[in-house]
Structure 1
Amino acid sequence: MRNKIFILLTASALILGGCSSNSVDAEDTNENNTVISSEDEETPVGDEGEALESEDLDNSSLDATDNDSASDDESASEDDYSAQIKTEVEDVVSSSSSLTDEIDGICKLYEKYENIRMDAETQVEMDSLSLNQLYVWQAEAESLLDRINEADGSQYDAIYSSYTDWEQHVDEISQKMAYEYEGGSIQGMIIRVYSAERYRNEAVKLAEKLATINGDSDFEAPDFGPVGFYGSYDNPESCIICTEGMESGSYTLLICIKDNEDIKGYITGPDDFGSYAFTSDDGSITGTISFKKGAGLQITEAPDDCPVPAGSATIYDGAY
Structure 2
Amino acid sequence: MINADKPYRWSDDVQASVRLYNEWFLDAAPKAYRDTRQATVDEVKQAFLWTADLTAITPEILAAHPKALATLRMSTAPPIARDRLVGLSYGSKSLLDAMEKDGKLPPRMKENVLYSHLSKMCAVLTDLLDLDLFPWYQTGEQVDPRQRELASTVVADRLCGAIADPIVRNAQEQRQLALIEGWLLSRGYSKKAHPASLPLNTMQPGTFSFRQNVVVGEEVRVNIPVDAVIQPHNPRNHGLPILVEAKSAGDFTNTNKRRKEEATKIHQLKAKYGSEVSLLLFLCGYFNAGYLGYSAAEGLDWVWEHRIDDLEAAGV
TM-score by length of 1: 0.24
**Which protein has the bigger helix share?**
2
Larger Rg, first or second structure (1 or 2): 1
Q: Which has the higher contact order (CA 8 A, sep 6+)?
A: 2
TM-score by length of 2: 0.24
